[in-house]
Amino acid sequence: MQELPVTGYLDRFSRRPGESLAAQVSVPSGQACRARLVRVISGDPNPAGPGLRFEDLAARFDVTFPGRHQPIHAGSAAIVPAGPRRPAGATTWTVLAWAAALPGESAALLSEEQGGTRVTLGLGPCGAVARLARDGAVREIAVGTQPKLRGWYRLWLSLAPEEDTLLLGQQPLLPGDGGAAVVRAALEGFAPPASGGPVVIGAENAAQPARHVTAKLEAPAILPGAFAEWPAPLDLPAAPLACWDFSRGIPTQRIEDSGPQACHGMLRNVPTRAVAGARWSGREMCWRHAPEDYAAIYFHADDLGDCGWQTDFRFAIPPDLRSGAYAFHLTCEAGEDWLPFYVLPPRGTATAPVAFLASTFTYQAYANHARGNADEAYMQRVREWGAYPHNPDHHPIYGRSTYNRHPDNSGIAFSSRLRPILTMRPGFLTFNDARGSGLRHYPADTHILAWLEARGLPFDVLTDEDLHEEGTALLAPYALVMTGSHPEYHTAATLDALRDYTASGGHLTYLGGNGFYWRIACVPGLPGMIELRRAEGGIRAWAAEPGEYYHALDGQYGGLWRRNRRPPQALVGVGFSGQGLFEGTHYRRLPASHAPEFAWMFEGIAEEVLGDYGLSGGGAAGFELDRADVTLGTPPEAVVLARSEAPPASFVTVPEELLSHVSTVSGETPDALKRGEIVYFETPGGGAVFSVGSITFCGSLWRDGFEGPVSRLLENVVRRFAGTAR
């Protein structure tokens, strides 16, 4: 769990002049740390490309501050500050539990503590565990019977001090999952903690939760009395002193006690709610319609929400700081790091006719994606190019992405931006690209920013999060909005804003592939967090469990926007069609590109083949490709100007296009759908959309500088859309 010598995060990805950014930094060595401001011009370290380029703005901001270690505390839990008061005598702690993998050593399910004494009902490799701790001494007793994986069990721990008896039980809800197992042992002088102390669910130790479990838990409760058997495993045999009903407040981080003393609590590190519980029947697939079927919370030992670090410095955005991409360059004796952010124009204004829309929701979905590819060859390239030296493969302590999995192989459904994000750094290499730079997301999108600067095209920068919060009003001042190379993750609010912008006369260039693909949820009550349910269909890193397709945060159906009847073709004319390794091919112009009404786009371009070169996979049409389809919403008047050809052997047709191994939704052959298309259409309201249908397109803006037919094509479009003379 290696920590970087210096790293940090900001309270937000973007701010406006007059607003402030707060920086949270950790320097494990405690060395003094310097932070200076830079403007990020290019984040590509490839010596055959534009290189890493920064404008030094230390004259605007340059501070040195005492370094300090700020630790990461991963693992989700529920904390109840004060548990129920109870009379003297026997007490039982119980919970319903479901695990896809057993922990290697005992993990805590339900724990209560007071004055140096703690009692914990846990789960371990040998089933239910009783863990008794007093003044540093710990005793563990296991039931000795492994539960069946992915089965629901009633677990309970009864302590009867007057009888010097401990009872530990484990009983399946379904007879086919085994029989009940109960262990009786002497307490050997152990006295349970006094009542009214903190209760922890999913871990133990309220002050600093530890021994986190990875499992679904439902209806944890504290009861009077002791039980040698449990007659009905779904029910409680006595009136509870406390019983936490997870079916209440599913969109929140609050847990409610349905017992008489209302011992409510709060969640830490955002475990997953709206998951199928012990009572799930399959009658309803939406938790809002049957919350009692979704009365479980999925706790994970590696969940990570807001790191909660203290602020080390603040930066007030000066009124005259131009809109753009910036970073704080952190340095200490042991190392360096960058904390990127964007500066927007003053609220309600535009300082340029063009706005670049940074795909911050996508950057966040991929945050700290551990791909397992940071081998010695990759690291050798990093060293030779002076690229960003750290890779999530080597630093799991900062949490994983929604493309990774939890310890039990379940998919990670939440991603926080309130933590160090190694993949969102200038110079970060995603791939050891044999034909190019191997950039994706944040550093890949600096190809666009560097191109705009090189071509003398003024621009502002906006972000997905700003668009989600402010809607079409954020875009209205601009003649043109440009996306990045992979605007994959969106909310209903961001899609609505882009749709309304183009419908009311705005111009949009979609400069990527596999865009507007997954639906996410984010809510004001949980700032910095996005939720994703990888529901039916699509290219998926993992699949949501049946019945778990609706977001907990907003209650809406997750998965592909296409499954939500908002395919990307309806917004930008093209949608995801084919995918392969990080390699590319070229486009060939079609007859429509020679028509007089489209000649302005191809002015100065003699070539028929476009983009048979590039810094991303070696070609402009690569990795993930989008095509037009009228049945999916491409406007009938849309024109296909160019089409990719000769897809590399690694390419496949995406699964949502396939009805069987030989038939497709469109009726074309599967091989025919492995294509990307450059599409143009105008909207009835006077707007227009230009889409390139490929993730790697912007890597081909560079050819011996920002020259060549791909650069010229985009410049022609941008200047026409923005009303900027050449």
CA 650 to chain centre: 27
Three-state SS annotation for 664-675? ECCCCCCHHHCC
What backbone torsions phi and psi does residue 207 show, to the nearest 5 degrees?
-65, -40
CA neighbours closer than 13 Å in the CB half-sphere of residue 88: 4
> How high is the pLDDT of residue 273?
98
CATH of the domain at 236: 2.60.120.200
Q: Name residue, tokens 């995801």.
A: 576
Q: What pLDDT is stored for residue 136 in this prediction?
A: 87
Do 584 and 624 reside in the same domain of the chain? yes
CB 608: neighbour CB atoms within 10 A? 14
Is residue 202 situated within a structural domain?
Answer: yes
Shared domain check, 412 and 447: yes
Q: Which residue has the tokens 């160019």?
A: 642
Q: What is the pTM of this model?
A: 0.97
**Residue 318 belongs to a domain:** no
357 and 421 assigned to the same domain: yes
Question: What does the block give as tokens for 649?
Answer: 């052997």
Check residue 382 and give its pLDDT: 98
Tell me which residue of 503, 508, 530 sits closest to 519, measured CA to CA: 530
Domain closes at, from 283, 299, 315: 299
Same domain, yes or no, for 383 and 241? no
Residue 544 DSSP symbol: P
- One domain for residues 526 and 409: yes
E strands along 541-638, which residues? Answer: 575-589, 609-610, 621-627
> Left if phi > 0, otherwise alpha if psi is -120 to 50, otherwise beta: which for 45?
alpha
Regions of the chain where pLDDT drops below 50: none
- Whether residue 352 is found in the same domain as residue 271: no
Which pLDDT does position 227 carry in this prediction?
97
Residue 44: what pLDDT?
A: 98
Residue 106 lies in a domain: yes
Residue entry with tokens 């669910």:
201
Distance in Å from the first CA to the final CA of the chain: 53
Domain contains 599: yes
Written as six digits, the tokens of 611 are 């983009």
- Domain that includes residue 231, residue range: 77-299
Instruction: Confirm whether 404 is domain-assigned.
Output: yes
Same domain? 429 vs 577: yes
pLDDT of residue 714: 98
Residues 293 and 392 in one domain: no
SS (H, E, C) 357-397: EECHHHHHHCCCCCCCCCCHHHHHHHHHHCCCCCCHHHCHH
Does residue 271 lie in a domain region? yes
CA contacts within 13 A on the Cβ side of 210: 5
Does residue 663 belong to any structural domain of this protein?
yes
Can you tell me whether residue 235 is helix, strand or coil? coil
| C-beta atoms surrounding 503 within 10 Å | 14
Q: 157 in a domain, yes or no?
A: yes
- 628 in the same domain as 576: yes
What pLDDT, on a 0 to 100 scale, did the predictor assign at position 1? 59
Quote the number of domains for the chain.
2
User: For residues 476 and 460, is the Cβ–Cβ distance under 8 A?
Assistant: no
For 394, counting Cβ atoms within 10 Å of its Cβ (0-12 exposed, 13-18 middle, 19+ buried), the class is: middle
Domain harbouring 649, CATH code: 3.40.50.880
Claim to verify: residue 291 and residue 342 sit in the same structural domain? no
CA distance 552 to 563: 18
Q: Are 530 and 253 in contact (CB under 8 A)?
A: no
Same domain? 491 vs 640:
yes
Q: Please tell me whether residues 394 and 288 are part of one structural domain.
A: no
Q: How far is CA 182 from the centre of its chain?
A: 42
